Amino acid sequence: MSAAPGALGDLRVIDCSRLIAGGVLATMLADLGADVIKVENPRAGDPLRTWSKSLGELWWKIYARGKRSITLNLTAPPGHPRLVMVRVSGWGQDGPYRDRPGFGTMVEAMSGFAATTGPEESPTLPSFPMADMVAAQAGAVAVLAALHHRDRVSGRGQMIDVPLYEPLLSILGPNPIEYRAHGIVRERIGNRSHNASPRGTYRTSDGKWVALSASTPASADAMFKALGLGRLLADPRFATNDARIANGEAVDQAIAEAIGQRSREEIVRLFETEGLTAAPVYDIADIMEDPHFKARHTFVDLPDPELGTATMSAPTPRLSHTPGTIRWVGPPLGAHNREVYAGELGLSDTEIERLKADGVI
């Protein structure tokens, strides 16, 4: 990773958040060079420190990376006309739900995500904090927009309201207009698509899986022919995209039988030769050994006092002149107290010790 200053090297961020969404938002800015000071309660710290604690605070090491940690019994920040503030909550700063607890699971349920995800039997929740991660990315973009407006237009900061549910709802496709215009309520269809067929995951003869998608009529025709199923294109159930969508189970059965006769490697090689879109379904072990991921340095190793080496995803997206960098893993609670309070705020050793004794830091 480059040691050059990042694109946000002149930006200071005060991170008073807890858990995922706000914390990851600040982490993204830290990766791009911002000086992020993580402010935590001196007694307990961010609850994220307790996630996977028995394995070595793995979540904390990753999502507090590159931040400086100080402790402070925080009540309310002083006002500042140029300050850009981000408030991340479940439901936003107004509306009837504003005081409700706002965890990702609740948002993933009420945003429409769970209702349209998974097999027909039951709604499916993601296995990772998706709502928080999506909100973090939306919030990071909003911060950059507010900074640009402050520095180029108004000279003043502003408050940014990031509810977890709105960014997630915004990426779920045209559901609102479909419902308002036509009364359509999309149902769960597993791995199939409402827009194109075939699309799904299929088990290969060696017990592994591949995913494929044919988003155009030409690619669908070529896919059937490559799998030895060209004869089915004369069947009205398979002849057009709309027909295939309506007969999704029959399409899945035919493709599953054809793919099940070959190994994953054979299927992937076949599709690459034919210029078709299919990919192996990877777990983390596959990902770590893939030559493309290695060649692009998708993961970085950082020194860690507990693990020796902490491996995590490199900053993304990649900027050509000011690439992001990860400076260190999530630090111990209050690791930078003296650096910030003495070195930058000018407090004496006596004053710092008094603040510690009083439970302020």
Active site residues: 132
Identify the residue whose tokens are 């507010």. Answer: 146
Contact 131, 91 (CB under 8 A): no
Question: What are residue 351's phi and psi, to 5 degrees?
Answer: -65, -40
Give the end-to-end CA distance of the chain in Å, rounded to a whole number.
Answer: 34
Among residues 344, 318, 324, the alpha carbon closest in space to that of 37 is found at 344
For residue 263, give the 3-state DSSP assignment.
coil
Give CA–CA dist 137/143, Å, rounded. 10
Among residues 61, 176, 190, the alpha carbon closest in space to that of 118 is found at 190
Question: What are residue 87's phi and psi, to 5 degrees?
Answer: -115, 115
CA distances from 215 to 82, 159, 168, 203, 275 (A): 47, 41, 24, 21, 13
Question: What are residue 357's phi and psi, to 5 degrees?
Answer: -65, -35
Find out whether the peptide bond into 317 is cis, omega within 30 degrees of 0. Answer: yes
